[in-house]
């Protein structure tokens, strides 16, 4: 794990950074933003080091920092991107053309915001 919305993964012996599509968590680098440490800690618990994850590409392969852009799934089938948003650890962030699950994640965000989960109550409404 690198931060709340970026993971380090190994594929066929090579290491890659994976940026979760359609989500943005509060920053912890270079400065700490409201709820950033909580989002990063949650990601660390959600995707434990050494666990197997499955990656799904939308349209784009990499971002301008050469990170893979992916939807990430845990072994139990849960989409990590959605779990972060539903729990209030991330907000939806759109970067077209990667919008495959936008409606699904916006629904999760509305639920988190209306329930005041995570950053929606800790950070003056997200």
pLDDT digits (tens, 9 = 90+) for 32-67: 899 999 999 999 999 998 999 999 999 999 999 999
Query: What pLDDT does residue 100 have?
Result: 98
Give domain status of residue 126, yes or no. no
19 catalytic? Reply is yes
Looking at the 3D structure of the chain, how many domains does it have? 1
H or E element at residue 73: strand 68-74
Instruction: Tell me which residues of the chain have a pLDDT lower than 70.
Output: 1, 125-126
Q: Is residue 24 included in any domain, yes or no?
A: yes
User: Which pLDDT score is estimated for 29?
Assistant: 81
Q: Report the C-alpha gap between 83 and 86 in whole angstroms.
A: 5
Full domain range(s) for residue 29: 6-121
What tokens appear for 79 in the block? 């989409």
Give the CA radius of gyration of the chain.
14
CATH number at residue 116: 2.40.50.90
Q: Three-state SS across 3-55? A: ECCEEEEEECCEEEEEEECCEECCCCCCCCCCCHHHHHHHHHHHCCCCCCEEE
Task: Indicate which residue of 19, 70, 86, 109 is catalytic.
Answer: 19
Residue 48 lies in a domain: yes
Catalytic residue, chosen from 8, 15, 27, 70, is 27
| Residue 67 annotated in active site | yes
Spell out the residues 6+ positions from residue 81 whose beta carbon is closer than 8 angstroms to its own. 20, 21, 22, 23, 71, 72, 90, 101, 105
Catalytic residue among 57, 67, 104, 117: 67
CB 45 within 8 A of CB 62: no
Q: What is the structure's pLDDT at 2?
A: 75
pLDDT of residue 3: 84
Residue 49 Rama label (left phi>0; alpha psi -120 to 50; beta): beta
């Amino acid at each position: 794990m690198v931060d709340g919305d970026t993971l380090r993964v190994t594929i066929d012996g090579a290491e890659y950074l994976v940026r979760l599509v359609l989500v943005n968590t509060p920053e912890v680098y270079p400065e700490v933003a409201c709820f950033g440490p909580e989002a990063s800690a949650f990601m660390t618990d959600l995707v434990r080091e050494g666990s197997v994850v499955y990656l799904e590409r939308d349209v784009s392969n990499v971002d301008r920092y050469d990170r893979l852009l992916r939807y990430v799934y845990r072994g139990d089938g849960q989409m990590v991107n959605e779990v972060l948003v539903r729990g209030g650890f991330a907000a939806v962030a759109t970067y077209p053309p990667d919008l495959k699950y936008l409606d699904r994640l916006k629904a999760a965000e509305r639920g988190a915001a209306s329930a005041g989960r995570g950053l929606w109550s800790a950070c003056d409404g997200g």
